[in-house]
Every structure is written in structure tokens, then in C-alpha cells.
Amino acid sequence: MKIILLGPPGAGKGTQAKSISVKYCIPHISTGDIFRKNISEKTPLGVKAKNYIDAGLLVPDELTIDLVKDRLSKEDCKNGYLLDGFPRTVKQAEALDEFLNGRQESIDTALLIEVPRELILERMTGRRVCLACGASYHIKFNPPKNEGKCDSCGGELIQRKDDNKETVLDRLTVYDKQTQPLVKYYKSKNKLSIVDGALAIDKVFENVCSILGEQ
Ligand code: ADP
Ligand code: ADP
Ligand code: ZN
């Protein structure tokens, strides 16, 4: 199964991705997590990506597309994968289609998690993430069992530098301009499904499963 998760920052893509990945036994590929890992390890890719991410801008397509093609060519992607945060531009979506066409493959579903704007700021400023495994928590809506520690791996939870009000607002503008057009893109290819991301985390997951279960 090959799935794309679409939706604005704070929609709950990462949260749902962790559960989908376990249930359907497919790797969760988050370009944001890959960039953050590279930044913390100060790799050449991390050095290039850091300023864009801190400013709430997208990392250039060339860097991102090559990174994803590389990742999708790995052995663990043979039976499918879940893309979280990629594609984020029409150019990335076209590059992905071209890559898949060349392998006689295609995406099964682009799943859009919809949330009203007024929920996003509180979700983002209360988010805490585990740098080790990428799990995300919320101080109010999804707190970890032990404060500051990841339930899954025991890693330290941090607040992302780009999860402040000002950068979140910039990221939403970037989403509207550069990523939102993908909704139309996948709709025109009959690949789009939509879930209501305003519901509680478990309820959203139930609805996600009823969509993916039909595949
Ligand atoms: P995204 O990957 O789309 O940016 P996340 O999955 O990291 O979003 O979720 C953003 C924040 O909102 C996190 O703090 C997460 O715990 C919280 N969250 C996710 N889904 C829900 C939900 N359905 N209801 C309330 N809070 C949620
Ligand atoms: P969120 O889950 O809050 O939407 P991500 O963790 O997916 O955020 O992404 C964080 C940042 O990493 C983005 O604001 C952007 O700078 C960069 N990034 C992630 N994925 C991509 C992508 N596909 N193209 C360009 N930049 C990306
Ligand atoms: Zn963790």
C-alpha cells in the first residue's frame, strides 16, 4: 500500500502516520523527520536545510526530491510506504509520479486530513516531539505518560524551534500557496480521500482505517 498524507501543519499527519505504519506494516517516511535528523547530526544536507526550516520556508525541491527517491529505493519500501510531508509542491508530486511510472507503480491514496484554521495554533504551540523516533505529543491533547519523555522510546521531548506562533503563521501561508494545490492535483487523478481531523485522535484513526481498509 502506498499512501500520501496531506494536510496543513498541525493537521495530525505525524500522529496518524505512527498508527497507520504499525497497523498496515509499512514504513513511515517523514521528510521533516529526515531533515531534523540531518540537522541534529550536522550533515551537509542538514546544514543546507536548516535555514529554510527555521524560517518556515520549504527546502528546495531538488534537495527534497532526490532525498525521497533515494529513500523509496530502499528494500523496506518494497511492499509500500506512507509518505508524511511529501509531496509539498506540484513539482514534487510530478517528480514522484514520474519516479513511480518508471517502475510501473502508482500511489493508492492521497489522504487529506482537514482541520479548521482556528484549531491549528493551539495544536502547534502545545506540540512536543521526540527527536529520536519522531513521535509527537501535545501538552493538553495527547500528553506523554511521563512528562518530557517519549512513551515509545524513552527519548527526550523537545519543542521544535519552528513551532512558535510567528513561524506557524508563515508555514500556513506557505501551505496555502505551495501545498494546497495538491488537493486538486490528486482529486483530478481520483486518488483523493478526506478525513475530518478536528475529531479526537482515536476517532480520526478509526475513520482513516475505514478508508484504507477498503483498499
Ligand atoms: P502534523 O504532522 O500534521 O504537523 P502532528 O501529528 O504533529 O501534525 O500534530 C500536531 C499537534 O496536534 C501535536 O501536538 C499532536 O499531539 C496534536 N494532535 C494531533 N492530532 C490531534 C487531534 N485529532 N486532536 C487534538 N490534537 C491533535
Ligand atoms: P509539519 O509536520 O508541522 O507540517 P514537517 O515536520 O513535515 O512539519 O516539516 C517541517 C519543515 O521541514 C517544513 O516547514 C519544511 O521547511 C521542511 N520540509 C519537510 N518536508 C518538506 C518537503 N516535502 N519539501 C520541502 N520542505 C520540506
Ligand atoms: Zn521517541
> Nearest ligand, CA of residue 55?
2
Burial class (CB in 10 A: 0-12, 13-18, 19+), 127: buried
Separation of 202 CA from ligand 1 center, angstroms?
12
User: What structural domains and CATH numbers belong to the chain?
Assistant: 2-26+79-212 (3.40.50.300)
Q: Which atom of ligand 1 is nearest to the CA of 200?
A: 23
Percent of the chain with pLDDT over 90: 98
Q: What is the pLDDT of residue 55?
A: 95
Which residues does the annotation mark as catalytic? Answer: 13, 88, 127, 160, 171
**Residue pLDDT, tens place only, 111-160:** 999 999 999 999 999 999 998 999 999 999 999 999 999 999 999 999 99
Check pLDDT > 70 for residue 215: no
pTM (two decimals): 0.96
Place of cell 512558535: 164
pLDDT tens-place string over residues 2-52: 999 999 999 999 999 999 999 999 999 999 999 999 999 999 999 999 999
Nearest C-alpha to atom 2 of ligand 2 is from which residue?
A: 9
Q: How far is the CA of 130 from the centre of ligand 1 (A)?
A: 13
Mean pLDDT of the chain: 96
pLDDT of residue 131: 86
